Amino acid sequence: MSKKIWIVIFRYLLAIGLFLAYSALFDNQDHDLIRSTLVFAIYLGLAIIPFSHKTKSKK
Please give the pLDDT value at position 50.
67
Please give the pLDDT value at position 7.
81
pTM of the model: 0.47
Q: At what angle do helices 3-25 and 33-48 cross, to 10 degrees?
A: 160
Going by C-alpha positions, the residue among 50, 37, 56, 46 that lies closest to residue 15 is: 46
Please give the pLDDT value at position 45.
75
The pLDDT tens digits of the residues spanning 4-40 come to 888 878 888 887 777 777 777 776 666 677 677 777 7
Domain range summary for the chain, segments of one domain joined by +: 3-48
pLDDT at 52 over 70: no
